[in-house]
């Protein structure tokens, strides 16, 4: 640990982590976006990723629940509405279920999460616990993967629409609002981390939190790839297309 | 849920879970035991599995720490000595480090766990938390994978000695004591679960705890296989042979 990074250096260090570790580089996503998965494999992705989606407002509420700063609580609250919805619009979870519907998955199978892979559950659990138990600064920082979300969402929507006959714009309704929500959220979280990481050690904790979160997203694809793509071993108890 | 299973039925149901889900069936283990991994891949296995080994006495102490029953605490205490050692013999962790030494791995790299895969850490963390937070009966039940350990240990030792020039009996010193410790431990835990699961719902919770634990061991191999065997993507930050 040496001197404090200035804001530009700090942001560059965060972005370098994304360039190295964000899950857009995972082979599973390359297959997904380029149309090289079959429908059953896309189902497995959507069903497992639901576990992550369903826990986002839980981890956001956990952050609010431990936050002594009214302004931060207020700012963070919009994330709850984004994922759980409000009177004017469905939330991200409901939109994700539109996709699993369109893919022909049974809702109860999806929402019960009983067919999700253990590795999915462990990664999502690790994320929620991290937000509950680490410092508030690290909890905020672990959301910073959203800095890299717009690019992967654009690639995904474009690739999936072009390559899969069983997917249409409505099935992908989850993603369009995320193209505006994610940049707002990540800009806020980035500014918060820049302002509140006032020592090099705190800056390093922010960088480490982002690495941790990249590992969450990455390991979810590891277990998915292995179970459904290659060598396609039947995982006992897991979703079987 | 229907009627209570009698002890024979209950034990048969537990053994059926092992037959279906224990990690001896994972392709990574088949490769490991049959000599089809290279030294670097065996190193990756030993380094990641160290994380699990290092947490065994932590989870056992967590069980003792929450246990109001002096007799159970006393019986469980031998597991601490098995893994942390006593004045007369090295424990399992020290013996595991003999293997990582023999494989040419740097001790600090292994014991710091900083090169372990995120998926390894998440699975081990999920196991420790399970023992801390579920019912005492479920905590005991999650150890029941040891029912199936002697078979995999025999296969492993025999297969590794026959197939890898870089492994000898001394490197595999971890395993021999486990051939007597594991059956004693699992016999005790099985008897405890049979005695204390006095409703069908409790019996089901025992079965589910064993399924959970099989998922822990299995998902550790998922992430290992994917990172080091096929397609051998370099996981950022992970151990690189």
Quote the pLDDT of residue B227.
80
Is the N-terminal amide bond of A231 cis, ω within 30° of 0?
yes
Residue pLDDT, tens place only, B164-200: 999 999 999 999 999 999 999 999 999 999 999 999 9
Quote the pLDDT of residue B222.
87
Residues of B in contact with A222 (CB under 8 A): 117, 119, 222-223, 226-227
Query: How many degrees, rounded to 5, is the angle at CA A234 between CA B26 and CA B241?
Result: 40
Q: Are B168 and B99 in contact (CB under 8 A)?
A: no
Query: How many degrees, rounded to 5, is the angle at CA A128 between CA A22 and CA A215?
Result: 25
- Which residues contact residue B220 at a Cβ distance below 8 angstroms, ignoring those fewer than 6 apart? B23, B48, B49, B52, B119, B120, B123, B124
Quote the pLDDT of residue A2.
80
Are the beta carbons of B223 and A225 separated by less than 8 Å?
Answer: no
Residue pLDDT, tens place only, A93-141: 999 999 999 999 999 999 999 999 999 999 999 999 999 999 999 999 9
Are the beta carbons of A211 and B237 separated by less than 8 Å?
Answer: yes
CA distance linking residue B214 with residue A224, whole number of Å: 17
Q: Among A27, A214, A226, select the one facing B222 at the smallest CB separation.
A: A226
**Mean of pLDDT values over A184-189:** 96
Residue pLDDT, tens place only, A190-228: 999 999 999 999 999 999 999 999 999 999 998 888 788
Are the beta carbons of B118 and A216 separated by less than 8 Å?
Answer: yes
How many separate helices (H) and strands (E) can be counted in chain A? 11, 0
List the domains of chain B with CATH numbers.
7-228 (1.20.910.10)
Interface test with A, best of B21, B112, B226 (most A CBs within 10 A): B226
Residues of A in contact with B223 (CB under 8 A): 119, 219, 222-223, 226
- Nearest chain A Cα to B16, which residue? A236
DSSP A4: P
Say yes or no: B61 contacts chain A, CB-CB below 8 A. Answer: no
Q: In this model, does residue B1 exceed pLDDT 80?
A: no
- B207 vs A226, which has greater pLDDT? B207
Are the beta carbons of B222 and A119 separated by less than 8 Å?
Answer: yes
Q: In this model, does residue B124 exceed pLDDT 60?
A: yes
Percent of chain B with pLDDT over 70: 95
Quote the pLDDT of residue B234.
57
**Mean of pLDDT values over B103-122:** 95
Quote the pLDDT of residue B229.
77
Residues of A in contact with B119 (CB under 8 A): 119, 122-123, 215, 219, 222-223
Q: With the C-alpha atoms ordered A146, A150, A154, A155, is the resulting torsion angle positive or negative? A: negative
CA distance linking residue A181 with residue A234, whole number of Å: 37
Q: In this model, does residue A86 exceed pLDDT 80?
A: yes
Quote the pLDDT of residue A19.
92
Name the residue with tokens 């069980």.
B63
DSSP per-residue string spanning A176-228: HHHHHHHHHHHHHHHHHHHHH--SHHHHHHHHHHHHHHHHHHHHHHHHHHHHH
Q: With the C-alpha atoms ordered A110, A116, A120, A122, is the resulting torsion angle positive or negative? A: positive
Quote the pLDDT of residue A233.
55
Residue pLDDT, tens place only, A63-81: 999 999 999 999 999 999 9
- Which residues contact residue B139 at a Cβ distance below 8 angstroms, ignoring those fewer than 6 apart? B62, B63, B66, B130, B131, B132, B209
Residue pLDDT, tens place only, B37-68: 999 999 999 999 999 999 999 999 999 999 99
CA distance linking residue A21 with residue A62, whole number of Å: 26
Say yes or no: B123 contacts chain A, CB-CB below 8 A. Answer: yes
Residues of B in contact with A122 (CB under 8 A): 119, 122-123, 125-126, 215-216, 219
Burial of A165 (0-12, 13-18, 19+ CB in 10 A): exposed
Could you tell me the two tokens for B27? 């392709």
How high does pLDDT run on average in chain B? 92
Residues of B in contact with A21 (CB under 8 A): 236-237
Quote the pLDDT of residue A227.
80
Provide the shortest C-alpha distance from residue A36 to chain B (in Å).
Answer: 16
Residues pairing with B86 in the sheet: B89
Are the beta carbons of B222 and A122 separated by less than 8 Å?
Answer: no
Quote the pLDDT of residue B230.
62
Name the residue with tokens 């895969």.
B117
Residues of A in contact with B216 (CB under 8 A): 118, 122
Which ipTM value was assigned to this complex?
0.77
Q: Which of B72, B122, B147, B57 is nearest to A128 (CA)?
A: B122
Say yes or no: A237 contacts chain B, CB-CB below 8 A. Answer: yes
Say yes or no: A204 contacts chain B, CB-CB below 8 A. Answer: no
Residues of B in contact with A226 (CB under 8 A): 222-223, 225-226
């Amino acid at each position: 640990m040496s001197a404090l990074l200035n804001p530009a250096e700090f942001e560059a260090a965060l972005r370098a982590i994304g360039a190295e570790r964000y899950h857009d580089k995972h082979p599973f996503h390359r297959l997904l976006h380029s149309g090289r998965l079959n429908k059953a494999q896309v189902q497995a992705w959507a069903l497992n990723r639901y576990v992550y989606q369903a826990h986002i407002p839980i981890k956001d509420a956990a952050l609010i629940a431990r936050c002594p700063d009214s302004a931060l609580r207020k700012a963070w609250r919009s994330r709850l509405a984004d994922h759980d919805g409000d009177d004017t619009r469905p939330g991200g979870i409901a939109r994700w279920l539109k996709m699993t519907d369109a893919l022909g998955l049974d809702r109860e199978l999806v929402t019960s999460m009983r067919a999700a892979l253990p590795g999915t559950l462990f990664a999502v659990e690790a994320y929620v616990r991290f937000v509950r138990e680490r410092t508030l600064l690290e909890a905020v920082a672990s959301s910073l993967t959203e800095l890299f979300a717009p690019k992967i969402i654009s690639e995904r929507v474009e690739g999936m629409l072009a390559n899969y006959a069983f997917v249409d714009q409505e099935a992908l309704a989850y993603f369009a609002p995320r193209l505006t929500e994610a940049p707002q959220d990540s800009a806020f979280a980035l500014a918060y981390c820049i302002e509140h990481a006032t020592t090099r050690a705190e800056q390093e904790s922010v960088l480490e939190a982002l690495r941790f979160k990249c590992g969450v997203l990455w390991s979810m694809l590891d277990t998915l790839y292995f179970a459904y793509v290659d060598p396609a071993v039947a995982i006992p108890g897991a979703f079987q297309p």
